[in-house]
Amino acid sequence: PIYPSPMADFGYDISNYTDIDPIFGTLPEFDALLADVHGRGMKLLLDYVPNHTSDRHPWFIDARASRSSKRRDWYIWRDPSPGGGPPNNWRANFGGDAWEWDEKTGQYYYHAFLKEQPDLNWRNPQVQRAMLDVLRFWLDRGVDGFRVDVMHHLVKDTEFRDNPPNPDFRPGMSPYRELLTTYTADLPEVQEIVAMMRGVIEEYDDRMLVGEIYLPVERLMAYYGASGRGAHLPFNFRLIRLPWKAKEIA
């Protein structure tokens, strides 16, 4: 990502979705780059990071200011468990607990990745509108499409149930894989969000979406959407791990 960021996670912690980080340049320089790319008959895709923002994004600063903040529900907040501590057993992809305690407001917020990357609440229609407008901002400038970061993570369980143990976990694997992601990834409602994104893309000519999705092939297929109204393409990470043999790849 090339947007303004504190760089806790190589730019995947975004503090402003509609500008360019000064270490990369300026919006006018981006426009010039895009024009040069198109002048050579090429296409330019941007990284779109809809699952989480930086904890320094103005939205989150507002959200954590008070429980009554107008943007409180833009993120995922929960009270401690009855016995104290995190509300459930959800874990962060990068290690450790996925819940960060906020002393000022007396609740935890959820982060699927770093604590500096609080997850947006995509069940909130205001979040949906704001983040779909981010797509329009760049599409209006002429961008040809987006690589959508962790597309399958966008919706979480409304009951905040514990994730079940992974029966295939073996010593030496990442601790994150000790639990299945039953209630934190690839929920059916994700497809509704992907369809919304596709709807925005369809407002423009010749644009595309590719989803970064770490799932088995049979689940990847769902991200093409009902009647092909989802992502144009899903990543197939299994190809990375296959031996360089034609039969295996086939």
Coil/strand/helix, residue 1: coil
Measure Cα distances from 31 to 28, 86, 149 in Å.
5, 45, 23
Sheet holding 99-102, edge to edge: 77-78, 107-110, 99-102
Lookup: tokens for 133: 């407008």
Separation between Cα atoms, residue 103 and residue 186, nearest integer Å: 31
19 belongs to the catalytic site: no
Place of tokens 């925005």: 200
Measure Cα distances from 214 to 28, 151, 196 in Å.
35, 9, 21
- Active-site option among 133, 162, 203, 248: 203
55 belongs to the catalytic site: no
- Active-site option among 55, 149, 186, 212: 149
Within 10 angstroms of residue 199's Cβ, the number of other Cβ atoms is 12
Catalytic positions are 149, 203
